[in-house]
C-alpha cells in the first residue's frame, strides 16, 4: 500500500466557529476537531495519494501557543516521520504564531519528508471559508514526492520556514516570504515550484535536542526564558534590568534598521551580558536581512526576525544545557 498522510490538528481559525452566521471576524478559534475538518473536504482522500489519518495534538488559539504544545507537536511529528507508512504530514494551525512553530519544527525535525503547516483567516462557519481549500492544498503538498522539510501553504502560496511571516491581519493571503518570494504555488491540485524544482531541505540545526524528548512529549529540561525587547524612540534600559532581575536567560533585541540600538539600551544590555544573559540582535524591519558588522558582538548569524531569533536562541541555550 502507498504511504499516506497524517493531519495533525492544533486549533486556530481554520477550526474556528462563530454564532453569527457567515461572520468573518468575532469568532472563536479552535472549536472543531481535526476529524471534522477532514470530513468537510471529501477531495482530501484523492489528494493524499494513500491512506489519510488525523490526530488532535492540541486545540488552541495559536496566540496562546506555549512550550508544552510545542513539545507534544514535535514528539508526534517525530513519531509519524519515522513511520514508513507515512509520506508526509500536514498540520492545521492558527495563523498568529504559525511562523514561529514552522521555525521551531524546521530546527528540530528530520527533513526527509514534507511537514506542511496550514491555517485559515476565516472561520469554518464563514460565508466563504478559506480553510477547506488550504487544507486540501496542504495535503496535496504533503503528498508531493519531491517536497521536503517544513513548509507552509495558504491562499495557494507555498512558503519556507525561514522566510514565512504573517504580514496582514485580515487578508486571505496573509503570509509573505519577504525579498525571496514564495517557494511555489498549489494551483488546481498541482504544485508549481517557483524555481522549477522543489527546494533542497537542509538538515535541522538542533536534531540532537529532538532526541531528548520523552514519551509524553516533555523535554527533560526547562525551556529557557528568552524575551524580546524593542529599541524604539524613548526607549530606556529599565525593561532590560527588570527582565534580568526576573531571571531571563536570553534577550533578543528588536533593533532599528541594520541592528542599531537606542543609546539608553546599550549600557543595560552590557549589564545583562555581564550577569550571564545571552543577547541577540534582530532587525525590527519587516523585510530584508540584517547585515552584521564584523565588530557586532550580538548579531544573529542568520539575520532572523525577532520572533524566530528568539526561538533559535532558546534552542541554542537548551542545547548548551
Binding site for ligand SIN (CB under 6 A): 11-13, 29, 61-63, 94-96, 119, 121
Cα–Cα nearest to 101, from 89, 83, 85: 89
Closest approach of ligand SIN to the CB of residue 12, in Å: 4
Q: Considering beta carbons, is residue 60 or 191 the nearer one to ligand SIN?
A: 60
| 8 Å CB contact between 18 and 125 | yes
The distance of closest approach from Cβ of residue 49 to ligand SIN in the complex, given in angstroms and rounded to an integer, is 27
What is each CA distance from 121 to 23, 89, 214, 221, 290, in whole angstroms?
12, 21, 34, 35, 30
> Any idea what DSSP says for residue 223?
P
Catalytic residues: 13
Tracing cell 510545542 back to the chain, one arrives at 70
Q: Which residues of 70-95 are buried (b: 16+ CB within 10 A; e: fewer)?
A: bbbbbbbbbebbeeeebbbbbbbbbb
Count Cβ atoms below 10 Å from residue 117 Cβ, excluding itself: 29
Q: How far is the CB of 194 from ligand SIN (least distance, A)?
A: 25
The CB-of-298 to ligand SIN minimum distance in angstroms stands at 30
Block residue for cell numbers 543595560: 268
Locate cell 525593561: which residue?
Answer: 239
Q: How far apart are CA 182 and CA 31, in angstroms?
A: 30
Q: Judged by CB, which is closer to ligand SIN: 54, or 121?
A: 121
Q: How far is the CB of 122 from ligand SIN (least distance, A)?
A: 8
- The CA radius of gyration of the chain, in Å to the nearest whole number, is 20
Q: Which is nearer to ligand SIN, 90 or 121 (CB)?
A: 121
Q: Comparing C-alpha atoms, which of 202, 195, 167 is closest to residue 180?
A: 195
Beta carbon of residue 306, minimum distance to ligand SIN (angstroms, whole number): 18
Beta strands in the chain (DSSP E): 4-11, 52-60, 86-92, 114-118, 149-154, 157-160, 165-166, 175-176, 184-187, 190-193, 226-230, 250-255, 278-283
Q: Which residue's CB is nearer to ligand SIN, number 94 or number 160?
A: 94
Query: Considering beta carbons, is residue 122 or 206 the nearer one to ligand SIN?
Result: 122
Residue closest to ligand SIN when measured from CB atoms: 94
Give the residue with the Cβ less far from ligand SIN, 99 or 316: 99
Amino acid at each position: 500500500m502507498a504511504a499516506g498522510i497524517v493531519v495533525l490538528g492544533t486549533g486556530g481559525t481554520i477550526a474556528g466557529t462563530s454564532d453569527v452566521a457567515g461572520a468573518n471576524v468575532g469568532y472563536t478559534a479552535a472549536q472543531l476537531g481535526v476529524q471534522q475538518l477532514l470530513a468537510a473536504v471529501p477531495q482530501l482522500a484523492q489528494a493524499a495519494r494513500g491512506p489519510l489519518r488525523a490526530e488532535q495534538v492540541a486545540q488552541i488559539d495559536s496566540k496562546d501557543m506555549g512550550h508544552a504544545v510545542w513539545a507534544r507537536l514535535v514528539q508526534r511529528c517525530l513519531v509519524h516521520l519515522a513511520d514508513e507508512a507515512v509520506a508526509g504530514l500536514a498540520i492545521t494551525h492558527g495563523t498568529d504564531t504559525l511562523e514561529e512553530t514552522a521555525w521551531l519544527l524546521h530546527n528540530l525535525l528530520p527533513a526527509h519528508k514534507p511537514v506542511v503547516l496550514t491555517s485559515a483567516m476565516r472561520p469554518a462557519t464563514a460565508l466563504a471559508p478559506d480553510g477547506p481549500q488550504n487544507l486540501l492544498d496542504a495535503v496535496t503538498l504533503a503528498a508531493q514526492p519531491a517536497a521536503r522539510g517544513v513548509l507552509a501553504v495558504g491562499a495557494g502560496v507555498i512558503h519556507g520556514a525561514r522566510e514565512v511571516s504573517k504580514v496582514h491581519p485580515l487578508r486571505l493571503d496573509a503570509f509573505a516570504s519577504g525579498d525571496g518570494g514564495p517557494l511555489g504555488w498549489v494551483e488546481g491540485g498541482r504544485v508549481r515550484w517557483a524555481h522549477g524544482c522543489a527546494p533542497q531541505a537542509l538538515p535541522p540545526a538542533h536534531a540532537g535536542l529532538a532526541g531528548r524528548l520523552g514519551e509524553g512529549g516533555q523535554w527533560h529540561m526547562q525551556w529557557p526564558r528568552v524575551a524580546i525587547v524593542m529599541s524604539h524612540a524613548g526607549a530606556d534600559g529599565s525593561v532590560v534590568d527588570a527582565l534580568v532581575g526576573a531571571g531571563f536567560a536570553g534577550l533578543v533585541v528588536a533593533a532599528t534598521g541594520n541592528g542599531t540600538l537606542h543609546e539608553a539600551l546599550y549600557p543595560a544590555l552590557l549589564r545583562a551580558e555581564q550577569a550571564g544573559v545571552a543577547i541577540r540582535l534582530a532587525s525590527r524591519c519587516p523585510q530584508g536581512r540584517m547585515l552584521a558588522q564584523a565588530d557586532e558582538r550580538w548579531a544573529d548569524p542568520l539575520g532572523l526576525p525577532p520572533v524566530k531569533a528568539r526561538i533559535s536562541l532558546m534552542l541554542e541555550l537548551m542545547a548548551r544545557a
